[in-house]
Amino acid sequence: MADKIHVLIADDHAIVRQGLKQILSDTEDLLVTGEADDGAEALQLARQQPWDVFLLDVSMPNRNGIDTLKQLKKEFPRLPVLILSMHPEEQYAVRALKAGASGYLTKQSAPEQLVTAIRQVASGKKYLSPAVAQQLAEAISENTEKSPHERITDREYQVLVLISTGNTLTQIAEKLNLGVATVSTYRARLLEKMGLKSTAELIRYGLEHGLVE
């Protein structure tokens, strides 16, 4: 048992957790020894015992994946965290890596890449798909002109993506566990920072820049 890689899976969908466990059950060196259905529970489990790898979903109730990742890296800086998301790589990958993630996988690519990715981050390395590697290269290039959505905070970006997907302020507040007034403030900041005038323009921007699946 000592040579096994102990993995915790944090995802609010039980069927997803079961599917991931099934993929890993065919390997001798990987062992799922913990599950969490939201970010708060993931943090609680992290504080109870050591783990080799955290597999963390981006969209979870009570505390989303990016916020959970930041707190995990603050408390356990050496813990490898692999972000797994239904969102396309262009939406969250670079932000997740900048926040301290060791890698980023989309759920569509998980069956083929999951085992390799977990082994790689457990060994202390980063796991980057070719698409994410290209994005990182562009993000750190001095010659790259940043788009407006690349200059906003992570929370503002989450609100922008949800607005672009057609969510109301009330729906966004529920998903991010925030007050409606707070979400309204984020919306106002987005309009100001991005030089836009209405929610309709935010939605159009999101569609034009591929922020909507």
Per-residue confidence (pLDDT) for residue 1, from 0 to 100: 43
Residue-range definition of the domain harbouring residue 24: 5-139
Identify whether the C-beta of residue 7 lies closer than 8 Å to the C-beta of residue 51.
Answer: yes
Task: Say which CATH number the domain at 198 has.
Answer: 1.10.10.10
Residue 81: its H or E element: strand 81-85
Where does a domain end: 122, 139, 156? 139
**What's the CATH number where 36 sits?**
3.40.50.2300
pLDDT in tens, 105-120: 888 877 778 999 999 9
Structural domain count of the chain = 2
* Exposure class string for 144-164: b at 16+ Cβ within 10 A, else e: eeeeebeebebbbbbbbbbbb
**Do both 105 and 36 map to the same domain?**
yes
Q: Based on the domain organization, do 131 and 161 belong to the same domain?
A: no
Whether residue 89 is found in the same domain as residue 33: yes
Location of structure tokens 């005038």: 197
Residue 99 and residue 131 in one domain? yes
Domain identity same for 126 and 83? yes
pLDDT of residue 142: 47
2, pLDDT greater than 70: no
Same structural domain, 103 and 75: yes
Q: What is the pLDDT of residue 54?
A: 95
* pLDDT (tens digit per residue) in 16-49: 899 999 999 888 899 999 999 998 999 999 999 9
Give Rg (Cα) of the chain. 18
Task: Give yes or no: residues 13 and 97 share one domain.
Answer: yes
Mean pLDDT for the chain?
A: 86
| Same-domain check for residues 191 and 104 | no
Q: Is the pLDDT of residue 145 over 70?
A: no
Q: Which amino acid is at 150?
A: E
Q: Give just the sign of the alpha carbon dihedral 197, 186, 183, 54.
A: positive
* Same domain for 24 and 79: yes
Q: Are 154 and 83 in a shared domain?
A: no
131 shares its domain with 158: no
